[in-house]
Structure 1
Amino acid sequence: MAEPVTAAWPCEIPLAQVDRGAVKLRLQPDAAQRKAIAKQLGLVSLEALSAEVYLTSWLDGAEVSGVLRARVVQTCGATADDFETPIDARFDLKVLPANSQNAPQEAFGDLGIDPDGDDPPDVLEGDRIDVSGYVVEHLALELDPFPRKPGAVFVQPPEPVELSPFAALKSLKAAKDEG
């Protein structure tokens, strides 16, 4: 199998290019692009991101599969400390052109989707596959929505003291009764 070609970020591939043969890409956004992705995903930072993506012809569309590797920095929900997490994930999806007779036809309602089955194919808006967009989307799916630093323990804060005007009067009365 040929080595993947390093592609610029962001990366879009014409569907017609995949029809002519498999496309193998290596994607690696630079520091400024990683900073923008981190902001988009609500991360403290994105220290590293790389992906190897393979596009092959499927029906009248394409199958997009790959491996992404990242180092993300998130804020712990229990301690508010920032911590780094490595991510190593595989992804696989199928795309079809908008005018495809194979595209899912149901709009809303009972879609008859099998929760254990494969995801339905994505329908492209144009004639290009947003490869970098799919990498970011699958990175987002790998993030823990409630990040917790390894070993972090949530400590229940003390109950708030009563701060009503009556509590103030109660403390004055208590002080008067003592005096």
Structure 2
Amino acid sequence: MHNNDHTNENDCHLMSFAIHYPVNVRSLPVKGVRIKIDADEKERQKLKENHGLLSVDSFHADVHVSPWKKRGVRIKGKFEADIVQACVVTLEPIPEHVEEEVQSVFIPEDSKLVKYEELDHTGEVFIDAEGPDTPEVFHGDSIDVGAFLEEFFELSLNPYPRKEGVDGNYIEDTGNEEKEPSPFAVLKQLKS
């Protein structure tokens, strides 16, 4: 029996990613490598659970992983997915097609570009690098491209999906010209 309680307690914010695609970045060719990911049923089910969706019908990614400066790595490409979310007001299913361009630069943790500074003992990492890219730090010899894509997937989701024609308060139109719902209408809605 493995005791994972301690690990789960500390890493609860680091969810178990649905898609794993580790790439060894120490042996990247100069031109880089192209990676295509087409999530299978098990991975789509895990994506659905991780992100509170009703379903993930497809997830495709096409990215290029290439060397950046001396020891860094650039990941650039795009992903697209067909998902179904629940309306935050009516809970009805809302199908949606998500498509995002992704790009990021990674540098090894021992790179001279990384400066560790203790701020109130938080151990925040400051990265000193020129250009528009703010590099992320990777550990060891590989980067999990699947986890990287899933983080972008999470950011692409609408946090408050609403079915068309449904406003935020979802109070039936009674012909009243008041734009703001009365406190009594809100209370009535909460009680029902």
TM-score tier (shorter): 0.7 to 0.9
The 3 A distance-change label for structure 1 pair 130 and 112 is closer
Separation (CA, whole Å) in 2 of partners of 1:148 and 1:64 = 33
What TM-score comes out, normalization by structure 1 length?
0.74
Aligned residue type for 2:111: S
1:122 aligned residue (97, 111, 136):
136
Aligned residue type for 1:38: K
Residues 54-69 of structure 1 correspond to what in structure 2 (within 5 A)? 54-59=64-69, 60-69=71-80
Aligned-pair identity in percent equals 25
Cα drift, residue 119 of structure 1: 5.0
1:43 aligned residue (42, 53, 59):
53
Q: Deviations over 1:69-102 (max 9, x none)?
A: 0011110012210111101110100001111112
Aligned residue type for 2:188: P
The question of whether the paired residues in 2 share the 8 Å contact of 1:69 and 1:87 is answered with yes
Aligned residue number for residue 98 of structure 2: 87
The root-mean-square deviation of aligned C-alpha atoms, in Å, is: 2.6
Matched, 1:156 2:171: yes
The question of whether the paired residues in 2 share the 8 Å contact of 1:104 and 1:120 is answered with no
Separation (CA, whole Å) in 2 of partners of 1:58 and 1:112 = 19
Q: How many residues align?
A: 151
Cα drift, residue 112 of structure 1: 8.4
Aligned residue type for 2:170: V
The runs of 5 or more residues in structure 1 that have no matched partner are: 1-8, 164-179
Q: Deviations over 1:2-33 (max 9, x none)?
A: xxxxxxx5211011132543110100110111
SS at match of 2:42: helix
SS at match of 1:43: coil
Structure with greater helix share of residues: 1
Separation (CA, whole Å) in 1 of partners of 2:118 and 2:159 = 29
The question of whether the paired residues in 1 share the 8 Å contact of 2:34 and 2:65 is answered with yes
The runs of 5 or more residues in structure 2 that have no matched partner are: 1-18, 173-184
Aligned residue number for residue 173 of structure 1: none
Deviates more, 1:61-70 or 1:148-157: 148-157
Aligned residue type for 1:56: S
The question of whether the paired residues in 1 share the 8 Å contact of 2:115 and 2:125 is answered with no
What TM-score comes out, normalization by structure 2 length?
0.69
- Larger Rg: 1 or 2? 1
